[in-house]
Amino acid sequence: MAEQGRIAIVTGGGSGIGRAAALALAGDGWTVRLVGRRRQALESVVADGAGLPGRLVARPADVTDEAAVAGVFDGAVREFGRVDLLFNNAGMFAPSRDIDEIPLAEWNAVVAVNLTGAFLCAREAFRVMRAQEPQGGRIINNGSISAQTPRVRAVAYTATKHAITGLTKSLSLDGRPYGIACGQIDVGNAATELTARWQSGTPQPNGALMVEPTMDVRDVGRSVAFMASLPLDANVQTITVMATAMPFIGRG
């Protein structure tokens, strides 16, 4: 269990995995600053967690906006004194396309959210965690199983999620002198608003469409809370949480 008063920032906190993680952390007593672009969605999560031991606070911001991201972390320090955890979760998909059909603007949009946004949040978390007393904290990056194995016709998403693995490893290495731990959670087929689009079938490598099994997104939230519960001298470097029967092992 996390200590009462520990401070977390969760990006993409208004829905899906971010919502589930925020509620799980608040259930363990964390104070959670919810970050996302849609205030109404964030406030809905705050209302859903009203009876939990911890506290949920909405903080609308766009993770691709450098000044807004700095404001999120500076605001957390002013309000709570420190930041103990960042769950770097904000992300976006793109339409399924072959690479020669992808407009540059679409590629740039995915990179901006999935990679640059994760970098900006990690940079600010590192800055705060390095300077605070007691020093240190934890960063958890949402990698997706696409950080390991691609889906067909998803080059932008796959490239950014592979890059998250490099970001995680670099943060894990560079954070050692300052008590900053960094790990990655790779999620496969959690039932969320984003994956609901796959109800008619997901393209497979053999050209077929398949309705793939999903899992309860709350199980992902519990996994994030477990990673966050460890002392800083222990770290889950990488964890894969997936629907048991999904066709991940053996893609190709």
Q: Is 13 helix (H, G, I), strand (E, B) or coil?
A: coil
- CA atoms of 9 and 24, how far apart (whole Å): 13
- Residue 56 phi, psi dihedral angles, 5° rounding: -115, 130
User: Known catalytic residues?
Assistant: 157
For residue 134, say if its preceding peptide bond is cis, omega within 30 degrees of 0.
Answer: yes
The residue among 130, 127, 128, 119 whose CA lies nearest residue 166 is: 119
- CA atoms of 148 and 132, how far apart (whole Å): 34
Q: Residue 204 in contact with residue 247, Cβ under 8 Å?
A: yes
Q: Residue 94 in contact with residue 156, Cβ under 8 Å?
A: yes
- CA atoms of 46 and 40, how far apart (whole Å): 10
